[in-house]
Structure 1
Amino acid sequence: MKVPFHWLGEHVDLAGLDPAEVARLLNLTGTELDRLHHHGVQTPDSVVVGRVLTCEKHPDADRLNVTTVDVGPRAEAPLQIVCGAPNVAAGQVVPVALVGTVMPDGLKIKKAKLRGQRSEGMICSARELGLGDDHAGILSLAEALPDAAAIAPGTPLSDVLPHADDVLEFEITPNRPDCLGIYGIAREVSAAAGATLRPAPWTRAGSPDGAGEEAGDPDPAGGTIEGFSVDVRTDRCPRFTARLFADVVVGPSPLWLQARLAAAGQRAINNVVDVTNYVMLVTGQPLHAFDADRIAGGTLVVREAADGETIDTLDDQTRALRAGELVIDDADGPTSLAAVMGGARSEVHDGTTRVLLEVAAWDGPTVHRTAQRLGLFSEAATRFAKGLAPEQAAWAQVLATRLLVELAGARRVGGTIDEGRWRTAAAPDPIVLRDERVTELLGTAVPGERQAALLTSLGFAVEEAGEGRRHVRVPPERRADVTREIDLIEEIARIGVVADLEPTLPTRRRLTAARLTPAQRARRRAEDALVGRGLQEVAGWSFTDAGAAGRLGLAEDDPRAAAVRLANPLSEDQAVLRPTILVSLLDVARHNRSRGVQDVRIFETGTVFRDQPDPRRPDMPFEHLALAALVQDDVFAAKGLLEAVLGALHVPFGVEATDQIAFLHPGRAAAVRVGDATVGLLGEVHPRVTDRWDLPRAAVFMIDLDQVLPAVPDDVPFHDVGPFPDARFDLAVVVADAVTAARVVDVARAAAGPLAEEVAVFDAYRGTGIEDGHVSLALRVRLRAADRTLTDEEIGGVRAAIVAALETEVGGTLRG
């Protein structure tokens, strides 16, 4: 919700408050500021009203004009300004950005020479000032402001046209639709700051001449409009109101209205549509304007759609509807997708002279489902989905009526059609608020007068009931949010108590130091091992799209493809819980590669889910905690990282080659085993998978921490290095490709006996001198005795034992 600061000041006295202070106060009360930014010219005081004295063609440029502009006391003499606008002419009153002005896009106006002619400023268009999209020519103030000719040159433009403002952008929680209108934010500011709230603009007291309607009063003109009728056939529309306006002149909105809409993030279209958007921003209640002469048969029917019906919406799309979605019909069929988007057939256009203004209340969950399915979360749908009170429809009708008469020359015809079941709904009973309950929950006493004052400032009606009790009636716009006594206490707390509480620590009977569990400490050791090797930790989404398993090449019956579907996903791209952590690693890698990161080295610890019964909780889907790493390297780099992780955990492991993993490269993949259990996978990602994620070569390991962590020893025995030197030698042994390097290492280690301190493969060679189907593995062997220096005879004996064991057990031959 974007709230221009000066617009907010029309509804609440902001004397002594700046935007940052308003943001601070509202953050404390739960209305969270997303960001505070400036809209329009960054130095608004240096944009002034000027008068064009002369205008002549540039001698060396056909499309440029050389003007002299009077800017009053802001310059010693009229300024010479070169202007390219086709509509500039002598005698115009125009906005002038003086030298030094910083424009909305950051451009700083400087003295310049254009084709040899000096230019000492800029005559601005509406778009250059941030007032709209019009860039066809300069902004002629005489066409936009009454009595522009009487404005003295040099007058700051902001004195006659608010063209720049600070904008507070709030993140409104779903339970507070009342704050989706600027007047609702004004009420929050009034309560939080103790500032005076001005009367609502839809009331008599809030209308400029004091002669406006009292919102909610019966229309003096009655409840009918000749030639038009409304038939509400669903309980999902509790209220539908309509008013008819004749003699409407559709055209551009006045600049003040365009400026306000632009600051609030809305695009000006025409005066009728702009009025509906303006009123929505003030009240929080969306409106829709029909071209009354395009409503076939003069009848609107509000109903639920049938499967397969279609409607052409304002965005020029034909949309198929589903049963239960809400539509508004005329005699020719659906003319509007209720609460989401109007239909193209009845939209207001330049030739419209009669407008039927609809303001209604709709069932929030129904609107949310429709908008989500169609991907049409318009400003209106967003508000209706959160639930608006039926009473708000009257507020918007009153304010819109005044503005249409004022800005479009409209004339009211007939009364107000008001249909729906809202009148028959029983008014909620008042909520009883007790002093003792307030004290019990807040931990501090709040005087009854203070409670009443705080609630009244928020629009609640409070009546004393004696014995420390009050009866509180909830205003219509808060009924969905405040239903119980505890909700009232929350309002009292957030506005008048929490910010004033003394910071204290809770009393405890026994102080205990917070400690990590053994599993938490082990997890940190594993992650630190990867960080120490230059990897960066990432946090990917737990959600992914339903097609992720297919992109990994997984068959439908593969357990890793059994994704848990979300009942209410945020989007189709996040419709299921990730069945493997590899998906989020690939997504993060692609994101970084597309932004210029050439060497991606990342890891993640997170939960993965599968649509299978969990052995530990049969009523829940299977889930486990995974640790995985991805590097743009080969399988040996990934294996080295795995060794670092499990080595840090002191968990012995083994690997077994496999070609059964669809997303890993055959011949470069292995299962990771701890004891008799398979706890993970290791290998290079299959090229067809990396291609789908726009990645070059990638290698990964993935382990199930829920299986690994129980194997982490509680205590690690200490082995003294000892005072005696080690002995090292290398061997090159040729074995068949079917023999794994791990098997070779195991045989060599067993043959070396207790003297073996390290046996490792450090190279593999295939090529000249090596028979096809074989590989030469280079082994590094390190021996050490705890009580003596090894002799040459002992070292030679171990070497001979290793060579003999390799020949006997794996068919290895020593390479010379």
Structure 2
Amino acid sequence: MRAPLSWLGQYCKPGMDARSLAERLSMTGTEVERVTHVGAESADGFVLGRVVSAEAHPNADRLRVCSVDVGAEEAATIVCGAPNVAAGQTVAVALPGAVMADGMKLGTAKLRGVESSGMILSESEMELGEGSDGIAVLDFAARAEPGTPLQGVLPISEPVLELEITPNRPDCLGLYGIAREVHAITEADLADPPWSTDADAAGEDHIDDYASVRIDVPELCPRFAVRAFADVEIAPSPLWLKARLIAAGQRPINNVVDITNYVMLLTGQPLHSFDLDRVPEGEVIVRTAAPGERLTTLDDVERTLDAETVVVADRDRSTSIAGIMGGQISEVSPTTTRVLLEAATWDGTNILRTSNLLALRSEASTRFEKQLHPDLTIRALRVASRLLVELCGARLVPGTIDVDARSERFRSFEVTVRHARIGSLLGMEISPEQVQAYLTRLGFTVAAGGNDADESSTTVAVPPDRHFDVTREVDLIEEVARIHGLDEHLPANLPQRGSAVGRLGRHDALLRRAEDLLRDAGLDEAITWSFVDPSGAGGLPHSGAPVNVHNPLSVEQSAMRTHLIGGLLGAARHNLARGAERVALFESGRVYLATHALRGGGILGGHIAGIRPSP
């Protein structure tokens, strides 16, 4: 998960640089793998400008001599070759001294006899897109004053956190979830959720006039919600949206598709958009595929499905692989004017299975396979609806089709944590007030009457984002501990256990003694591969049929060893062949037998498994 710092700062500003924040997140359980950079190394020298005039160059037909207000006493003269430059435009300007993303430092230069002091930038020069046939016109920043630092309008120099999200934390596969985590560990203010407001519907019609939904497999599709939009105008996304997608690792396509990707990155809930005119009668059916059914996905690959693959279909054919990738037949195109927007919940295990079967992973499947909660669907629809109305000129058709199976496994619940248990488990005292503050910042809600009169425990309602992660008292204690700061407050000494004393069992003590004796006798300890050739290890046959590995490193290492001597012989042969004068080796390790396991005490206790008799 890539989290651009400027986008993250829209919801929570921690007041620290990217590397300090990365270290703090990693120390509290949200690992940041690396901090990367998108765009120029520094935003210095990049400002907003307003084109005052654009005249023909006296010595070149394709160049224009522009007078650009950059907030200085005098307008800057900039020679520009873009065909779309015109007076009155608000533009991005790199002044002399600015260092471009490719490392080039700008200076004052003469172009065909006219001195040029800077550069009016295109999208590609700012690394915010692929369009390079003209300058970027920043209409959305028209009210800003010339000379305003460009970084405040566009992330021309963007630090990006690359997070390694564990499977139990799909909430952090959404940027707002990461912002909540930053809020919890720094106490910086957290902005209202982006789904707190919805778009206004308009018109006398209703979504039932346009679409219908039938779920044939509610156990595999716990919730499926759709909204319809009319009068949609397909166009390139605005620069701010492109910039955020690129920094987050996504390629901009068009405004509708970009909005669905943007909302997925923001909320953690994937969406899918259909061209409503390419869905016969607007009839949507969620079912399993027929054995051998074929579908061409958006990556232009025809895929063969099996009977356990869930698809979204119309009355005639499947149109997308549920939770993984859409199909070409109903994709949004430049001619689309009506959009059906879907937000659904899928069975995570089924999505993982299908993804592996088809060798097809996507940003959507990465999230769905971790099992999302059905409550996230409407959140994402609200955010996307507002953006479709604002950026695509769309009209939100009144009504939402929301088919919810209300599965018991998604029912909300509460968890109680005993404050005495926190102290006994962690070895450090945390006050009830701190416990409640930490959990509240993480999105948990202290239940009504959730505090005992003697403050011996606290009961909280678990939010949908953490439904499958926090289910027990010890899970809440872990949350409290990491926010409190294990690196800062965890005692250096282990808690005392009274009269309990650790010691080796008889088998381990004998094994340790045998290893010590062999080392004292001058032998070197070897560690050899547990994976061996199924035909025999070191030229010796296996002790019975070996256990084969399902996903081996190689054919020569596709079975588990049944004895140690083969590996030792191989190590000795390897050393002698390279001139070693003396080889004396021993190994202490496990073997893997298809028969019953060793009885208590192991070999040193006189108990041996396998087909060979005991000595």
Fold shared by both chains (TM-score > 0.5) = yes
Count of residues in Structure 1 that have an aligned counterpart in Structure 2: 562
Aligned residues: CA RMSD: 3.9
In the other structure, the counterpart of 1:313 is 297
1:334-389 Cα offsets, whole Å, 9 max, x none, are: 01111000110111111111111000001111111212222321111111111111
Q: Does 1:179 align with 2:115?
A: no
Q: How far off its partner does 1:565 sit? A: 3.6
1:191-238 Cα offsets, whole Å, 9 max, x none, are: 11112222211124xx7xxx889xxxxx99999622311111111110
Asked if 1 retains the 8 angstrom alpha-carbon contact of 2:288 and 2:308, the reply is yes
Q: Please show how residues 656-667 of structure 1 align to structure 2 within 5 Å.
A: none
Partner-residue secondary structure (3-state), 1:643: coil
Q: How far off its partner does 1:502 sit? A: 5.0
In the other structure, the counterpart of 1:576 is 552
In the other structure, the counterpart of 1:24 is 23
CA radius of gyration, larger in:
1
Moved over 6 A (4+): 219-223, 507-512, 518-527, 625-629
Q: Does 1:49 align with 2:48?
A: yes
Asked if 1 retains the 8 angstrom alpha-carbon contact of 2:549 and 2:559, the reply is no
In the other structure, the counterpart of 1:256 is 240
**Equivalent-residue separation in structure 1 for 2:56 and 2:569 (angstroms):** 74
**Equivalent-residue separation in structure 1 for 2:422 and 2:566 (angstroms):** 42
Asked if 2 retains the 8 angstrom alpha-carbon contact of 1:23 and 1:33, the reply is yes
In the other structure, the counterpart of 1:241 is 225
In the other structure, the counterpart of 1:325 is 309
Q: How far off its partner does 1:55 sit? A: 3.8
**Using a 3 Å threshold, how does the CA distance of structure 1 residues 72 and 190 change in structure 2: closer, same or farther?**
closer
**Equivalent-residue separation in structure 2 for 1:28 and 1:223 (angstroms):** 50
- Choose from 198, 212, 227 the match for 1:229: 212
In structure 1, the gaps of 5 or more residues are 214-218, 528-538, 551-556, 567-574, 581-607, 617-621, 630-634, 653-816
Q: How far off its partner does 1:245 sit? A: 0.8
**Using a 3 Å threshold, how does the CA distance of structure 1 residues 222 and 471 change in structure 2: closer, same or farther?**
farther
In the other structure, the counterpart of 1:40 is 39
In the other structure, the counterpart of 2:559 is 610
Q: Does 1:649 align with 2:598?
A: no
- Choose from 486, 491, 507 the match for 2:474: 486
1:112-161 Cα offsets, whole Å, 9 max, x none, are: 455676544222110111211211222123xx426x3x554433223443
TM-score normalised per structure 2: 0.81
Q: How far off its partner does 1:37 sit? A: 2.0
Q: Does 1:349 align with 2:333?
A: yes
Q: How far off its partner does 1:543 sit? A: 9.5
1:570-627 Cα offsets, whole Å, 9 max, x none, are: xxxxx324454xxxxxxxxxxxxxxxxxxxxxxxxxxx55167x259xxxxx995797
In the other structure, the counterpart of 2:357 is 373
Higher RCO (C-alpha under 8 Å, 6+ residues apart): 2
**Equivalent-residue separation in structure 2 for 1:456 and 1:401 (angstroms):** 29
AA aligned to 1:102 is: V
Q: How far off its partner does 1:79 sit? A: 2.9
Q: Does 1:165 align with 2:158?
A: yes
**Equivalent-residue separation in structure 1 for 2:484 and 2:196 (angstroms):** 28
**Equivalent-residue separation in structure 2 for 1:359 and 1:284 (angstroms):** 11
**Equivalent-residue separation in structure 2 for 1:626 and 1:343 (angstroms):** 56
Partner-residue secondary structure (3-state), 2:183: helix
Asked if 2 retains the 8 angstrom alpha-carbon contact of 1:371 and 1:377, the reply is yes
Q: Please show how residues 121-520 of structure 1 align to structure 2 within 5 Å.
A: 121-141=118-138, 144-145=139-140, 148=142, 151-204=144-197, 225-234=208-217, 235-422=219-406, 427-462=411-446, 463-467=450-454, 468-501=456-489, 504-506=492-494
**Equivalent-residue separation in structure 2 for 1:52 and 1:240 (angstroms):** 52
Partner-residue secondary structure (3-state), 2:251: coil
Q: How far off its partner does 1:525 sit? A: 7.9
Q: How far off its partner does 1:523 sit? A: 8.7
Partner-residue secondary structure (3-state), 1:178: helix
In the other structure, the counterpart of 2:597 is none
Asked if 1 retains the 8 angstrom alpha-carbon contact of 2:68 and 2:78, the reply is no
1:720-741 Cα offsets, whole Å, 9 max, x none, are: xxxxxxxxxxxxxxxxxxxxxx
Asked if 1 retains the 8 angstrom alpha-carbon contact of 2:524 and 2:585, the reply is no
Asked if 2 retains the 8 angstrom alpha-carbon contact of 1:526 and 1:649, the reply is no
Q: Please show how residues 554-573 of structure 1 align to structure 2 within 5 Å.
A: 564-566=548-550
Q: How far off its partner does 1:44 sit? A: 1.6
Q: Does 1:105 align with 2:105?
A: no
**Using a 3 Å threshold, how does the CA distance of structure 1 residues 477 and 114 change in structure 2: closer, same or farther?**
same
AA aligned to 1:643 is: G
Partner-residue secondary structure (3-state), 1:415: coil
Asked if 1 retains the 8 angstrom alpha-carbon contact of 2:203 and 2:398, the reply is no
**Using a 3 Å threshold, how does the CA distance of structure 1 residues 371 and 57 change in structure 2: closer, same or farther?**
farther
AA aligned to 1:295 is: V
TM-score normalised per structure 1: 0.62
- Choose from 89, 93, 97 the match for 1:96: 93
1:145-192 Cα offsets, whole Å, 9 max, x none, are: 26x3x5544332234434332211111111100000111001111111
**Equivalent-residue separation in structure 1 for 2:174 and 2:366 (angstroms):** 12
**Equivalent-residue separation in structure 2 for 1:167 and 1:100 (angstroms):** 24
Asked if 2 retains the 8 angstrom alpha-carbon contact of 1:243 and 1:358, the reply is yes
In the other structure, the counterpart of 1:762 is none
**Using a 3 Å threshold, how does the CA distance of structure 1 residues 233 and 119 change in structure 2: closer, same or farther?**
same
**Using a 3 Å threshold, how does the CA distance of structure 1 residues 311 and 457 change in structure 2: closer, same or farther?**
same
Q: How far off its partner does 1:250 sit? A: 1.2
Partner-residue secondary structure (3-state), 2:492: coil
AA aligned to 2:492 is: T
Q: How far off its partner does 1:247 sit? A: 1.1
In structure 2, the gaps of 5 or more residues are 505-511, 536-540, 587-615
Select the structure that is richer in strand: 1
Identity level (%): 45
